[in-house]
């Protein structure tokens, strides 16, 4: 499959963690299968957090094991610390993302550690990676990289400092996360340029939220700034319980449509992708599902990028 950009679907992790109900394990498997069948190259399928804190993710190991059976799928998972990373490595995840919040207040609320303490968790996790025969990729997601609902402005110099620290701690990749949806396109380009000057191609992608309706504009800005990896969530589900007022992720269906209509190849079949929404709608009939493209339908003249 030829792709110009890679889209990582985070709904089964980021989306489900924000819902009050719990999707049954077999329905999760059906949803992940439908997402994979659409051509999504990577899916963040779960989170290795204590079940008592996030019962929606209690079946993480089983979900990873199932996802590994889907041909060609790159299986990603989130771990909040080295203990979670050890579980994710044992389960066989191909990629493990550790959140490293630039905002000290958000970091303490989210993972009960300061940013620099989280750098040590990254270091411990990369040592576990190096000792593992499977050697999964370790990604550091720099949360609140564009603003914090608790602290407000986040210093761009701190984003750069922590990106460097993550790489020095052994991270394979660094992503920039607009956890609160406060970013704007010019800021996106500026921060990407600043981080890239220091860590080069270790900066791989962005994770964007749509709180102020700028999610797709910010995705386009990141693309124009040279990034080619994007997180998104089917139906726009997601958010952060420790970022008051922040809404869900950018909608996968809308992101795919934007790129394909521009002639940028995602390798994703939009018709199959939208069919996966039915599983969500059936599992959570009272949950609002977002997306302009699913609501309007594809225009008659739409043709995927060749």
CA-based nearest residue to 187, from 200, 197, 175, 176 = 176
Instruction: Tell me whether residue 148 is one of the annotated catalytic residues.
Output: no
Q: 3-state DSSP: the chain helix, strand, coil percent, rounded to 5?
A: 45, 15, 40
8 A C-beta contact, residue 45 and residue 35? no
Q: In sequence order, which residues have a C-beta less than 8 Å from that of residue 227 and are 6 or more positions away?
A: 192, 203, 204, 205, 206
> 43: closest CA among 23, 21, 14?
14
HSE-CB at 255 with a 13 A cutoff on CA atoms is 37
The torsion angle over the Cα atoms of residues 18, 22, 27 and 28, rounded to 10 degrees, is: 40
Distance of alpha carbon 222 from its chain centroid, rounded?
A: 15
E strands in the chain: 6-9, 42-47, 74-78, 95-101, 137-143, 173-178, 203-208, 229-232
Phi, psi of 84 (to 5 degrees): -65, -35
Active-site entry in 240, 243, 256, 274 = 240
List, by residue number, the catalytic residues.
240
């Amino acid at each position: 499959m030829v792709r110009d950009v890679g889209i990582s679907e985070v709904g089964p992790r980021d989306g489900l963690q924000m819902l009050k109900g719990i999707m049954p394990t077999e329905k999760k498997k059906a949803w992940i299968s439908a997402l994979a069948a659409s051509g999504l190259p990577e899916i963040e399928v779960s989170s290795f957090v204590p079940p008592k804190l996030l019962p929606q993710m209690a079946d993480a190991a089983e979900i990873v094991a199932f996802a590994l059976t889907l041909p060609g799928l790159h299986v990603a998972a989130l771990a909040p610390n080295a203990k979670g990373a050890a579980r994710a490595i044992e389960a066989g995840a191909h990629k493990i993302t550790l959140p490293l919040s630039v905002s000290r207040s958000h970091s303490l609320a989210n993972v009960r550690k300061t940013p620099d303490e989280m750098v040590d968790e990254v270091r411990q996790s990369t040592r576990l990676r190096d000792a593992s025969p499977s050697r999964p990729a370790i990604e550091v997601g720099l949360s609140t990289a564009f603003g914090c609902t608790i602290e407000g402005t986040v210093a761009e110099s701190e984003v750069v400092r922590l990106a460097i620290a993550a790489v020095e701690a052994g991270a394979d990749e660094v992503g920039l996360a607009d956890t609160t949806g406060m970013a704007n396109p010019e800021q996106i380009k500026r921060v990407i340029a600043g981080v890239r000057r220091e860590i080069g191609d270790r900066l791989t992608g962005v994770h964007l939220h749509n709180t102020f309706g700028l999610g797709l504009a910010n995705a386009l800005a990141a693309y124009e700034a040279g990034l080619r990896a994007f997180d998104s969530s089917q139906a726009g589900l997601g958010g952060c319980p420790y970022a008051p007022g922040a809404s869900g992720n950018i909608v996968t269906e809308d992101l795919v449509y934007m790129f394909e209509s521009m002639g940028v190849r995602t390798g994703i079949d939009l018709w199959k992708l939208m069919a996966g929404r039915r599983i969500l709608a059936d599992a959570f009939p009272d949950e609002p599902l977002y997306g302009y493209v699913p609501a309007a339908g594809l225009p008659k003249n739409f043709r995927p990028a060749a």
